[in-house]
């Protein structure tokens, strides 16, 4: 699996690979030892931590945004 990221260049968003090597998961017990020594595990854990921090930022943004009233008539 290749990992990509979006980056802003002024008003343009561009996508590019964020890693030089592909991330992979073991599909057998025999591959597990090689997986544990590979960069894939580190990259997956780093991605999980990034996602956790991003989720906290989103929660903080919603918590600090003003409450909007619900409409009294159906749309």
Per residue in 25-36, pLDDT (tens digit) is: 999 999 999 999
Count CB neighbours of 18 within 10 A: 14
Note the pTM of the prediction, 2 decimals.
0.57
Q: Is residue 26 within a helix (H) or strand (E), and if so which, with residue range?
A: none
Per residue in 2-55, pLDDT (tens digit) is: 778 888 888 898 988 877 778 889 999 999 999 999 888 888 898 899 889 989
């Amino acid at each position: 699996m290749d990992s990509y990221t979006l980056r802003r260049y002024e008003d343009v968003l561009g996508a590019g690979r964020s890693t030089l090597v592909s991330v992979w998961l073991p599909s057998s017990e025999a591959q597990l030892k090689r997986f544990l020594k590979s960069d894939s595990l580190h990259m997956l854990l780093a991605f999980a931590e990034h996602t956790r921090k991003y989720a906290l930022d989103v929660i903080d943004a919603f918590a600090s945004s003003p409450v909007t009233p619900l409409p009294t008539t159906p749309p």
